[in-house]
Chain A
Amino acid sequence: MMNTVILSWVTFIYLAAFVCYLIRIMRGTEFWGRLATITASVGLTAQTVALILRWVESYQMGIGHAPLSNFYESLIFFSWTIMLLYLVFEWRIKNKSLGTFVVPVAFIAMAFASLSPNIKNRIQPLIPALQSNWLTSHVMTCFMGYAAFAIAFGLGCMYLVKRLDQGRANPSGSFLRFLPEEDTLDELIYQSVALGFVFLSLGIITGSVWAHYAWGSYWSWDPKETWSLITWLVYAVLLHARLVRGWRGKRIALLSIIGFACVLFTYLGVNYLPGLHSYLQS
């Protein structure tokens, strides 16, 4: 099980990357920023290799399937999409301060997967319900959406921190001067929510197609389905409020945080409610 060994190392690499981003934002020295990006990229590369190894290993065991089939694998994939999307964002906006807010989410997902005693990291064969071509596209689109929302969440936190500081009598000016301008943050929140919204919609659509073939109904009000709809509605409210009602800044940042809470409940909380998706519990 080479892949799980690599993955437990990746957990620590992401922790190191987070520490580097943190030092960078405290001190403002470019050295730490470059080190942070390099560490994060090394972690992502190692994680990609581990995912491919795990995929290959499952074929060697004769139960070949994409590593997206149980809770352990979904957590690993969640952190992988967050890091991938984050590094793309960092490269596009040329600002490393977002790393301090987003990389810890990827680290926590990895740590949870590697350290929680209840999460099996074995490669398990696919039960009949999961033997579908829709598994890969459904999981991938959903998690791309989750990752984009995680980034919007990080940006929302940055916005609020910056706003809170400006409200004070003498703005500290310490690390906050490295955060992007408020308008830029607001625009970036919108862009990442839009991206997440498209992917979440695709995730719900592919899930419905799958449900149509597996359960005989494209929509059954299963708790996970319902919560994905709730999440969709919350982000729909955010987009309409911004595009039509002209909401900006604080309220949008707050909505991006509420939205991400819904994402987390859809992903994790729902497993404690009874429903058709319950095979994810193990």
Chain B
Amino acid sequence: MSNKKNTLWSFFASVKLAIALLTIISIASILGTIIPQQDTAESFVSRLSPAMVSVFDKLQLFDIFHSLWFLILIVLLSVNLIVCSLNRFPVHWKLFHHRPDPDAGDSFENLPADRIILVEQPPHKETESIESLLKKRYKGVRRKDTEKGSFLTGEKGEFSHFGVYLIHASVLVILAGVIIGFLFGFDAYIEVAEGEAVDTVQVKGGKGLKKLDFTVRCDRFTIDYYEDGTPKLYQSDLAFLRNDSLLYQGPVLVNHPASFEGIRFYQANYGKTPSNEAVIMLQRGHEKAQAIKVVMGKAFDLPGKEGKATIIRMEENLMRMGPAVKINIATGKGNVQFWIFQNIEQIEAENPGLMDQVPMFNPGVFAPYVFSLAMMQTKYYTGLQVARDPGVPVVVAGSVLLVLGFMIVFFYAHRQVWIRIDRQGINTRISITGKTNKDPVGLDREIQRLMGAIKKAGEKRS
């Protein structure tokens, strides 16, 4: 059992696995940008053979980033990250706590000439001055006096051993934020026409409708253009209501979402939709045609008192034949309903015989009148992205930790220096050596600076 556990542990503790997983995730991501995903996949699917489509579908290649196997890769990487970190942590913990012997022993042998200074000051005086100099630059300065000479050591940046753990932890925090968002958040879309109010949103990914516990009303939608015709501004003025009482009112612009009760509203889209007003022309027999301004749902008497007419529907583009309104005429004998088009001549020219086949489209079906649509008032609707993501603060925290971790890993190093002060003939010999966990070039430069400071201090005294 324990053997099995050990093999599993060492499997996940390997950096080879990490490199393999990172590579596989990269390749999967590349596929995800080459194969059209989700909604955009349709036209691609039509070019594939049915067998291929079913293979792609089974492998979830049309939605790689939400597929089970991609999730498994991420989970494996997370486990790998945790096990690797746990496995290596004790080593770094020891390095962090280890207080080295001031006598570095062999490290002082075979030092290059530029790591040795010869001075005339007696060793004990020199040791005192170097010790105080070291204390200004390093922590944990310790001294040991022996027959062979005096030894000093100092270090800094011990905490840099933990930078890598901070980075790994921050990646896990970010993933946790993603999971929180996935479990407790939602991503939806609504379209609200000017003057209208909506309380139900369409959740993305075909996950149905979601009722909000408040109502969103769009009071106005504005587009503004620069002189050269480039769009300058898309703005929706929204109002948030509950039980008909206004709770909040404010604009939503691209890059400036509105937030209400933890739900954010983003300017995503816009379009035109019929308002409730239109102008229709009606001609009774050979009389002069007259224009009537109508409001949807409001009944009006026909000029010859043959019945009461009401516009019951208005469409911006009915069956790709342009603007149309549906009218209901109530007479003593019952109801007649038909559509009145704006582009009737063009429709008749393109579809000969249509009017006879489909009486619903015939503008003259209610004799002796001939109806036509002169003008339909339109208004804007705004398309809003609606989202709640309680994982965002967690992701932000993870990102901050990530940047902190990078600072520690790349800009700090654990540097230790050892100095031996002993006699060589009539002179005092100062030898310096050092050790670092990264950036040996930086350590070299630091030791050079330290030697410069020691020399300078010596010159000052003499």
Contacts and interface: CB of A to CB of B under 8 A. Distances in A.
Contacts of B226: 63, 125
A125 B22 contact: no
A229 B255 CA distance: 23
A240 interface: yes
Contacts of A125: 226, 228, 230, 232
Given A187-B441, A244-B15, A233 B254 contact: no
Interface in B239-282: 253-257, 264, 266-268
Interface stretch (B142-150, B336-344, B362-370, B398-406): B398-406
A45 interface: no
A216 B266 contact: yes
Given A205-B403, A240-B15, A240-B18, A230 B26 contact: yes
Nearest to B164: A243
A128 interface: yes
Interface in B24-49: 25-26, 29-30, 32-34, 37, 40
A75 to B, nearest CB: 21
A273 interface: yes
Given A218-B395, A237-B22, A128 B257 contact: no
Interface string A211-229: 0111111110101001101
B20 to A, nearest CB: 9
B40 A274 contact: yes
Interface stretch (A6-14, A103-111, A171-179, A194-202): A194-202
A270 B40 CA distance: 16
B23 interface: yes
Contact of A201 (B26, B231, B403): B403
Given A63-B226, A212-B392, A205 B399 contact: yes
B130 to A, nearest CB: 30
B172 to A, nearest CB: 15
B89 interface: no
B319 to A, nearest CB: 29
B408 to A, nearest CB: 11
Contacts of A26: none
Nearest to B398: A205
A274 B406 CA distance: 33
Interface in A147-164: none
A234 B26 contact: yes
A127 B22 contact: no
B387 interface: yes
B387 A216 contact: yes
B315 to A, nearest CB: 29
A168 interface: no
B187 interface: yes
Interface string A99-132: 0000000000000000000000000110111011
A211 to B, nearest CB: 10
Chain A interface helix/strand/loop/mixed: helix
B410 A194 contact: yes
Contacts of A217: 187, 387, 389
With most chain A CB atoms within 10 A of its CB, the pick from B25, B26, B230, B267 is B26
B201 to A, nearest CB: 12
Interface residues of B, number: 48
B312 to A, nearest CB: 36
A230 B29 contact: yes
A236 interface: yes
A218 B253 CA distance: 17
A131 B395 contact: no
A227 B234 CA distance: 29
B385 A215 contact: yes
B287 to A, nearest CB: 51
A227 B233 CA distance: 30
Contact of A245 (B19, B268, B386): B19
A77 B443 CA distance: 34
Contacts of B286: none
B65 interface: yes
B288 interface: no
Nearest to B189: A216
A201 B402 contact: yes
Contact of A215 (B25, B33, B266): B266
A35 to B, nearest CB: 29
B16 interface: yes
A128 B268 contact: no
A241 B23 CA distance: 12
Contacts of A245: 15-16, 19
Given A128-B232, A216-B187, A233 B19 contact: no
21 contacts: A125-B226, A125-B232, A129-B255, A131-B255, A198-B406, A201-B402, A201-B406, A208-B399, A209-B396, A215-B268, A216-B264, A216-B266, A217-B387, A223-B33, A227-B29, A227-B33, A229-B29, A233-B25, A243-B438, A273-B34, A274-B40
Interface of B: 15-16, 18-19, 22-23, 25-26, 29-30, 32-34, 37, 40, 65, 178, 187, 226, 228, 230-234, 253-257, 264, 266-268, 385-387, 389, 392, 395-396, 399, 402-403, 406, 410, 438, 441
Given A214-B255, A216-B268, A240-B22, 14 more contacts: A125-B230, A125-B232, A127-B231, A128-B232, A131-B255, A201-B403, A208-B399, A210-B255, A213-B256, A216-B187, A216-B264, A221-B65, A240-B18, A240-B19
